[in-house]
């Protein structure tokens, strides 16, 4: 018996208008695994990530998270889109962290952390606060609970954004270039938090240009170009001894 994968994508296609930007992606992420998705700008990485929590609808193919179809249910062999409330519920089980932190500016750090658990999950504030404080400790910001986002550095804001996502107790975390907007000296503190999450067994898909991080933390690296996964495999193979010329030339650019 094989365990249900955390993410399973089958022949996923996505158009914007007549522009086919995701062209048949197959991919599996096992529970507790880290997949790093690398590739040039415009290759469809963000679009594919957004399909995983149904922020974008796939035009063909299917995605399942923890064995449940994303956005749809099967009825008499046909796919029917879920109701908005069901979509929101499934989406709330997937944490997403973007390049830009998108914290609520008028709320303190701790208020940012408890907003979704209380509003979406209808949790008791006391429980969400207790967990939120523990998460702030975990990301090294225990003393910032009452601070406003604007008073924090970019690296601190991104660590708050990660803690906010974790406070929903997600099954899966998606990161879309979480360090790309940061000053170089702030990248490490965010990667350290992500490294810790991976070590604790969180299932993660990380779009990143941080090749060192991918080499060290990923179970699998997938190189995406022009809407397809050109090659994927263990980091040592894909990053150290790529089979495809497109992968080699991309790596030569980001590593130079
Ligand atoms: N909302 C959108 N509407 C139309 N085209 C889009 C939209 N988002 C992305 N695209 C296009 O889809 C392609 C893939 O973009 P994206 O998924 O953002 O790539 P990446 O994250 O790899 O840089 C690009 O050509 C981009 O211009
Ligand atoms: Mg992108």
The bound ligand whose nearest atom lies closest to the alpha carbon of 47 is 1
Q: How confident is the model at residue 255 (pLDDT cuts 50, 70, 90)?
A: confident
Q: How confident is the model at residue 1 (pLDDT cuts 50, 70, 90)?
A: low
Question: What percentage of the chain reaches a pLDDT higher than 90?
Answer: 91
Q: How confident is the model at residue 78 (pLDDT cuts 50, 70, 90)?
A: confident
> Distance, CA 98 to ligand 1 centroid (Å)?
15
Q: Stretch 227-236: mean pLDDT, rounded?
A: 98
Q: Ligand 1: which atom is nearest the Cα of residue 50?
A: 17
Contact 13, 23 (CB under 8 A): yes
Q: How confident is the model at residue 256 (pLDDT cuts 50, 70, 90)?
A: confident
Mean pLDDT score across all residues of the chain: 95
Q: Stretch 140-159: mean pLDDT, rounded?
A: 97
Q: Ligand 1: which atom is nearest the Cα of residue 176?
A: 21
- The rounded distance, in Å, linking the Cα atoms of 161 and 101 is 6
Q: What pLDDT digit, counting tens, does each position of 166-215 carry?
A: 999 999 999 999 999 999 999 999 999 999 999 999 999 999 999 999 99
């Amino acid at each position: 018996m094989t365990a249900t994968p955390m993410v399973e994508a089958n022949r996923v296609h996505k158009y914007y208008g007549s522009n086919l930007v995701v062209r048949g992606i197959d991919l599996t992420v096992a529970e507790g695994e880290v997949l790093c998705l690398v590739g040039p700008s415009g290759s469809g990485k963000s679009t594919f990530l957004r399909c995983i929590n149904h922020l974008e609808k796939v035009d063909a193919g299917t995605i399942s998270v923890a064995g449940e179809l994303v956005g749809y249910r099967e009825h008499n062999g046909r796919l029917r889109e879920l109701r908005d409330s069901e979509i929101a519920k499934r989406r709330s089980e997937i944490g997403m962290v973007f390049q830009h932190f998108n914290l609520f500016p008028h709320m303190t750090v701790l208020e940012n952390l408890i907003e979704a658990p209380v509003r979406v999950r209808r949790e008791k504030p006391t429980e969400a606060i207790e967990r939120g404080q523990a998460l702030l400790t975990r990301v090294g910001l225990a003393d910032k609970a009452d601070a406003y986002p604007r008073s924090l550095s970019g690296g601190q804001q991104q660590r708050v954004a990660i803690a906010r996502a974790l406070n929903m107790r997600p099954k899966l975390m998606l990161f879309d270039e979480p360090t790309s907007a940061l000053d170089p000296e702030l990248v490490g503190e965010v990667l350290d938090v992500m490294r810790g999450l991976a070590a604790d067994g969180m299932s993660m898909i990380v779009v990143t240009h941080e090749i060192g991080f991918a080499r060290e933390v990923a179970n699998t690296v997938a190189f995406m170009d022009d809407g397809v996964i050109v090659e994927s495999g263990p980091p040592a193979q894909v990053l150290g001894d790529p089979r495809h010329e497109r992968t080699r030339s991309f790596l030569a650019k980001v590593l130079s």
